[in-house]
Amino acid sequence: MKSYQPVRGTRDLFGDEILAHRFVTDAMRQVASVYGYGEIVTPVFEFTEVFARGMGEVTDVVSKEMYVFNDRGGDSLALRPEGTAGVARALVSNGMAQNLPLKFYYAGPMFRYERPQKGRYRQFTQAGVELLGVDSPNGDVEVIALADAFLRKVGIKGLITLEINSLGDMESRENYKKALVSYFEKYEDSLSEDSRRRLRLNPLRILDSKEECDKKINENAPLMRDYLNDASKAFFDAVLRGLDTLGIAYKVNSKLVRGLDYYRHTVFEFITDELGAQGTVLAGGRYDDLVHELGGPKVSGIGFASGVDRLALLLKERIKPARPVAVVPLNSEFDDAALKLTEELRSKGISADLGFSGNMGKRMKRANKINAAKAVIVGGDEYARGAYTLKNLDDGAQKEVLFADICKEL
């Protein structure tokens, strides 16, 4: 019989890895809630056009990485490659524009067909936030502050660097694109195949290329900051002042771009060197035209998404499961009493494990296998005196505890 394996780029989550995942997503929920963000859950697949229009048909995500299929009705659908476009579509579909500003957070699976590597999978988990209907720099500051608080809550802030840049408004971005095209045309024959394709479709993506031939050319490419108009400069300066006010350290990276077409003004990334070349663990930016592109009104937006899988890699060795209490009957005569005690402990919120069968020796071996902190032994003279024997499995010390005091003791 054939032995099936997970599809390439997917995997099963259990044990320490699922604990680390849950720790990260719980941290997002807790921090986002403090900032006043409510949860939103969008479908894992949408009409393909939702992502193609919002993210840009010539972006790598849309042109190379999306899982696209036709359903039985002939509609073109796509598994969601990111969360922002779906949230923007939800605003339009549900008539939420009457209730601006809106604050949402989400956590869930995304899908991209790309080469799997450390911390990167074809089915992966993202957690993020979206702030809709706020067009002032204070919105950018709040979202970045939330991201910073989230990473501190997770506990890896010391490993992270915030890089930030401005792509300016539409006018600034278009002027910059023209300058990039003029510059890269001089080196067109030396660019990688992908960058030659991007040259006239989305030249900003060339700046993000990982190909060595492109990196060398990018060293002397024009910088976005030289093409910002006065309004864009003032906006970015206000964002940086806000970060300074909050004491959030950052590095202005004039070559930082985000590959999706909907970005305007502020873009940012939190980067670590703990995961090799692919070190971004959280990234985002402002997207003032996205909702309008999806058929809604002109609504400003800014948000970020964090790669839960990458954060979980950093945390897996630090997150340990709570150690249970093992309930061990002395012999079969005390099985019912042990069963009743186990349920009593669980009803009080105490993690308790009752070996399903075997003598006392086998059950104590199981207690050690599951890394139980203590064992409650049910039976013997102690039981006749109305007490259990409580054994510390780390140092072997044991004592009698009255029936009525066992929950309090544990």
List pLDDT tens digits, range 281-317: 899 999 888 899 899 999 999 999 999 998 998 887 7
- 19-53, pLDDT tens digit by residue? 999 999 999 999 999 999 999 999 999 999 998 87
- 1-26, pLDDT tens digit by residue? 888 999 999 999 998 899 999 999 99
Could you tell me the pLDDT band of residue 118, with boundaries at 50, 70 and 90? confident
Q: What is the pLDDT of residue 170?
A: 87
Domain 15-169+229-315 sits in CATH 3.30.930.10: yes
278 pLDDT exceeds 70? Answer: no
Could you tell me the pLDDT band of residue 65, with boundaries at 50, 70 and 90? confident
> What is the average per-residue pLDDT within 122-126?
95
Backbone angles phi, psi at 178, to 5 degrees: -60, -40
Average pLDDT, the chain: 90
Q: What is the pLDDT of residue 261?
A: 66
Which position has the higher pLDDT, 71 or 53? Answer: 71
58 pLDDT exceeds 80? Answer: no
129 pLDDT exceeds 80? Answer: yes
Q: What is the pLDDT of residue 123?
A: 96
Q: In whole angstroms, give the CA distance from residue 369 to residue 367.
A: 5
What stretch(es) of the chain map to CATH 3.40.50.800?
325-409
Could you tell me the pLDDT band of residue 62, with boundaries at 50, 70 and 90? low
Q: What is the pLDDT of residue 120?
A: 82
What stretch(es) of the chain map to CATH 3.30.930.10?
15-169+229-315
Q: In whole angstroms, give the CA distance from residue 382 to residue 393.
A: 19
259 pLDDT exceeds 70? Answer: no
- 308-360, pLDDT tens digit by residue? 998 998 887 788 888 999 999 999 999 999 999 999 999 999 999 998 888 88
- CATH number of the 325-409 domain: 3.40.50.800
